[in-house]
C-alpha cells in the first residue's frame, strides 16, 4: 500500500516538474526566440557547426559518417563537442575545428558570442531536448540557418525535420538529416581514426598474447543497471577458459573499475592502455566482442566484428532503446530482455554461453 502511494506521489511530482519546465521554457522563449522563421537556403551553405556536446560516445561514433560526408561534400565543418566524447574525433581528418561546450552559464554565453564571429551558414542540432540555456546559446551563435528535429514551434529552427520513427535504428535519423540537405549518396559506415603510435603499441601488445583467438569483454556501462553482474562476468570468463582454453580474454573499460575484478577473475588481461583509442584498436583486432554498453557495441560495428550485444528493455523518451541503439552490425547478435526496464544482469548465462558458442565454434573450425 505504501509503495503504491509512493509511486503515485513520484508520478505526480514528475508531471509537476515537467509542467514547470515547460512553463519556464515558454516564458523564456518569448524573449529569446526570433519573431519569425527565416527561409532555409541549403544552396548557400558552406560553413557548418555540428552540435555533438552531449558527452555520449555512442552518439559521436554514429555521427562520424556524417562528418565524412559533409567534408567530402565541400563543407567547412566545425564540431561542438563534450569533453568526454571528444576522444572519438580526436584524430578525425574531416573536422576543421572543434569547440567544447562548457558547464557554467557565463562560459556558455561567452562561447556563444565567440562562435557568432565564425558566421556559420548552418547549425545542426541532432538532439530532442532543448533547455532554455541551449536555446539562448543557439540564438547567440546567430547562424543563418538552424536545422533540428521536431522543433517546428521554435522559430530559430528554420528547418525542422518531422521525425517520429521511435523504433527505427538511429542511422535512419541521420539519413533524414542528409536527405534534407539534398545529400543522398553517402556511406553510413562508422569512422574512427587511430594514430600510428596507438596502432604500434597495440600491435606490440597483441603479438605477445599466447592464445589463438581474442575475446574483448566490456563489463560496465554508463548506467549500473546495464552492467554485467559479478556472477555473469565470472560465469562468462570461466566458461571461455574451460571451453576454449587457447583464447585470450581482454577486459576494456574504466581501469579503476576493472582492477576490482582481479580479485575474482582468472586468466583475464586488463587493457594496459588507459585511453579510448587504444581500446578501439584492441577491438579492431579481436575475434569477438561482448558488451552491454552501446558505445563499445558501436565501436565493434565500425569494424563489423563478431559481437554479443547485451541489452535491457527500456525507452529514452519515446524511443525504444533496443531498436534505436541496436548494434547495426550484420555480425552481431543482440540479446534482449522481454521485461520492460529490466537489468542486463538478469539475462540468463546459458543464453550468453550459447551465443558465444555460435561465434567461437565457427572461428575454431576455420
Q: Residues 32-74: pLDDT tens digits?
A: 888 888 899 888 999 999 999 999 999 999 999 999 999 999 9
What secondary structure letter does DSSP report for 113?
A: H
Helix (H) or strand (E) run with residue 105 in it: helix 105-116
C-alpha 240/C-alpha 232 separation (Å) is 12
Show me where the domains of the chain are located.
Answer: 23-180, 196-365
Residue pLDDT, tens place only, 307-327 = 999 998 776 667 788 899 999
Q: Which three cell numbers mark 358?
A: 555460435
* Phi, psi torsion values for 76, nearest 5 degrees: -80, 125
C-alpha 229/C-alpha 233 separation (Å) is 6
* Phi, psi torsion values for 238, nearest 5 degrees: -65, -40
Question: Which class for 308: exposed (0-12), middle (13-18), buried (19 or more C-beta within 10 A)?
Answer: buried
What secondary structure letter does DSSP report for 96?
A: S
Question: Which class for 159: exposed (0-12), middle (13-18), buried (19 or more C-beta within 10 A)?
Answer: buried
C-alpha 249/C-alpha 213 separation (Å) is 9
23-180 CATH choice from 3.10.20.30, 3.40.50.150, 3.40.50.2000, 3.40.50.2300: 3.40.50.2000
Which sign, positive or negative, has the C-alpha torsion 147, 91, 60, 186? positive
Check if CATH label 2.60.40.1930 holds for domain 196-365.
Answer: no
pLDDT > 90 in the chain, percent: 73
Assign residue 116 a region: left if phi > 0, alpha if psi is -120 to 50, beta otherwise? Answer: alpha
Longest CA–CA span in the chain (Å) reads: 68
Q: Do domains 23-180 and 196-365 have the same CATH topology?
A: yes
State the CB neighbour count (10 A cutoff) for residue 181.
21
Residue pLDDT, tens place only, 101-136 = 999 999 999 999 999 999 999 999 999 888 899 999
Q: Is 265 helix (H, G, I), strand (E, B) or coil?
A: coil
Residue pLDDT, tens place only, 251-279 = 999 888 888 887 788 789 999 998 999 99
Amino acid at each position: 500500500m505504501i509503495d503504491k502511494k509512493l509511486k503515485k506521489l513520484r508520478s505526480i511530482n514528475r508531471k509537476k516538474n515537467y509542467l514547470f519546465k515547460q512553463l519556464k521554457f515558454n516564458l523564456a522563449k518569448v524573449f529569446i526566440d526570433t519573431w519569425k522563421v527565416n527561409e532555409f537556403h541549403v544552396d548557400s551553405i558552406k560553413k557548418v557547426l555540428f552540435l555533438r556536446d552531449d558527452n555520449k560516445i555512442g552518439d559521436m561514433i554514429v555521427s562520424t559518417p556524417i562528418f565524412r560526408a559533409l567534408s567530402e561534400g565541400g563543407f567547412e565543418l566545425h564540431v561542438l563537442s563534450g569533453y568526454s566524447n571528444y576522444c572519438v574525433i580526436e584524430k578525425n581528418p574531416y573536422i576543421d575545428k572543434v569547440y567544447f561546450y562548457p558547464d557554467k552559464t557565463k562560459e556558455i554565453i561567452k562561447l556563444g558570442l565567440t562562435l557568432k564571429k565564425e558566421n556559420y551558414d548552418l547549425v545542426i542540432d541532432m538532439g530532442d531536448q532543448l533547455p532554455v540555456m541551449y536555446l539562448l546559446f543557439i540564438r547567440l551563435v546567430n547562424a543563418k540557418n538552424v536545422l533540428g528535429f521536431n522543433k517546428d514551434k521554435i522559430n530559430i529552427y528554420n528547418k525542422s525535420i518531422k521525425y517520429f520513427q521511435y523504433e527505427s535504428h538511429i542511422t535512419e535519423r541521420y539519413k533524414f538529416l542528409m536527405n534534407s540537405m539534398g545529400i543522398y549518396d553517402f556511406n553510413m559506415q562508422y569512422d574512427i581514426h587511430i594514430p600510428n603510435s596507438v596502432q604500434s603499441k597495440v600491435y606490440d601488445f597483441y603479438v605477445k598474447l599466447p592464445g589463438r583467438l581474442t575475446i574483448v569483454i566490456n563489463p560496465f556501462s554508463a548506467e549500473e543497471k546495464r552492467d554485467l553482474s559479478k556472477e555473469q562476468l565470472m560465469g562468462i570468463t570461466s566458461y571461455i577458459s574451460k571451453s576454449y582454453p587457447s583464447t585470450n580474454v581482454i577486459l576494456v573499460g574504466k581501469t579503476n573499475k576493472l582492477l576490482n575484478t582481479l580479485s575474482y577473475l582468472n586468466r583475464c588481461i586488463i587493457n594496459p592502455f588507459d585511453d579510448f583509442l587504444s581500446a578501439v584498436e584492441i577491438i579492431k583486432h579481436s575475434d569477438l566482442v561482448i558488451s552491454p554498453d552501446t558505445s563499445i557495441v558501436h565501436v565493434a560495428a565500425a569494424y563489423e566484428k563478431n559481437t554479443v550485444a547485451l541489452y535491457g528493455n527500456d525507452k529514452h523518451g519515446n524511443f525504444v532503446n533496443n531498436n534505436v541503439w541496436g548494434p547495426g552490425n550484420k555480425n552481431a547478435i543482440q540479446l534482449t530482455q522481454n521485461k520492460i526496464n529490466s537489468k542486463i544482469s538478469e539475462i540468463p548465462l546459458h543464453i550468453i554461453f550459447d551465443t558465444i558458442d555460435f561465434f567461437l565454434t565457427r572461428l575454431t573450425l576455420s
